[in-house]
Amino acid sequence: MDYSSKYSYRVNYVRPSPIRTLVSKISEISAARRVISFAAGEPDPGVIPRGLYARILAEVLEEEEKSCNYSPTEGIPSLRRAIASFMEDYEGVKSVEDEIIVTIGGSQAIDLIGKIFIDPGDHVIVENPSYVNTIVNWEFYGARLVGVGVESDGLNVDRLESVVKSLLSEGRRVKLVYTIPTGHNPAGVVMSDEKRRHLIEVASRYDLIVVEDGAYNHLVYEGSFKPLSYYDKEGRVVYVGSFSKVLGTGLRIGWIRARRELVELLKAIKGPSDMCAPVPLQHLVERILRKRLFDEIKKKAVEEYRRKRDAMIEALDEYVQGVAYNKPLGGMFVMVRLPSSIDSEEFANILLEKYSVAVVPGKPFYLDDSGKNTIRLNFTMVSLGEITEGVKKIGVAVRMFS
């Protein structure tokens, strides 16, 4: 049977993911020999208190008669209330239950937002580089993504304004700006407070919705930053939250905070697709928040990842010459710009095959060729020893390539 003649037109927008190919290659090679992998985007399993989760989940299953049944699509009411309080306590954004919808991670939140807002041909502004899964997902809905550069203090908001102005003057539809202001994946930067304010002003001037991806908002190593939602007085920020990066990516609990009318619409399209997020895990997260255990888990994660980040920067300073990078104030990644003559996909392949070190080439995160010599390094899933050993090998490979 040949399916291809039956596919929807959207399948034309699907492009092969070089990251998926790399990930299968990493697992293939790891089965045969030890690989130091800087390719992940996940918390260190050693930091996740699985014993605590096991005890809470046992309580949930014993005490909550309906914990193995469907919950309301929008989430169990106590978790929605807990997330509304979390938004206020941790983000300084006053929220109520009706403004929260619980999702299967930030990933589902991003997908639902794409479904609701994007018509084929709509122009959507994203950072260049941006999170590759959002790029792939929204292109599937037919978005024309327009990239605006990221500086060491986040999105170039002046440039964003001129890009929006010129698109509008050509009669294009521009609806959304998608940004990862804190702990950017993959750029490893944090947007300054000044730029956050400015972005909201620009969005207001051109009547744009801002999708704020807060996946890394709680992994900040220096200073503190208010989310974009804090500066928004007009309800134009749609906030995507996730507990993945602190509590664990496998829990699959995220949320959207938005105006009630949008939450109602989200509910209507989410229900037929998933019924609800996994109910025992909704209860687990609700109890973690209610018992105020999040602080402790987050504190341990932040301390551990700060140490690892510092080790990675020290190792890069010492062992890798002729490259550029920032010390990230938050998140899980350092983006390294290799000498311009190096193609990072080729580099990543040889690094893996010859030196058993895995990195993610930056190219798929960019909408143009400007990232073809960049690599993304994760510092949270590796041990301190692996950081030194792996970065040393990157240094050797860079010398060999240059």
Ligand X SMILES: Cc1ncc(COP(=O)(O)O)c(C=O)c1O
- Give the nearest distance from C-beta 133 to ligand X in angstroms: 7
Binding interface with ligand X (CB under 6 A): 41, 105-107, 131, 180, 185, 213, 215, 242, 244, 249, 254
How far is it, in rounded angstroms, from Cα 345 to Cα 363? 8
| Beta pairing, strands 174-179 & 253-257 | unpaired
Nearer to ligand X by C-beta: 185 or 380?
185
Nearer to ligand X by C-beta: 215 or 381?
215
Q: Residue 50, class by beta-carbon neighbours within 10 Å (0-12 exposed, 13-18 middle, 19+ buried)?
A: exposed
Nearest to 302 by CA among 191, 189, 222: 222
- Give the nearest distance from C-beta 256 to ligand X in angstroms: 11
Instruction: Give me the phi and psi of 178, to 5 degrees please.
Output: -110, 130
- Give the nearest distance from C-beta 135 to ligand X in angstroms: 11
How far is it, in rounded angstroms, from Cα 38 to Cα 134? 21
Nearer to ligand X by C-beta: 225 or 355?
225
Nearest to 41 by CA among 132, 154, 140, 155: 132
How far is it, in rounded angstroms, from Cα 133 to Cα 117? 17
Nearer to ligand X by C-beta: 71 or 137?
137
- Give the nearest distance from C-beta 306 to ligand X in angstroms: 19
Query: Is the bond into 45 cis (omega within 30 degrees of 0)?
Result: no
Nearer to ligand X by C-beta: 41 or 114?
41
- Give the nearest distance from C-beta 185 to ligand X in angstroms: 4
How far is it, in rounded angstroms, from Cα 235 to Cα 233? 6
- Give the nearest distance from C-beta 105 to ligand X in angstroms: 3
Nearer to ligand X by C-beta: 185 or 356?
185
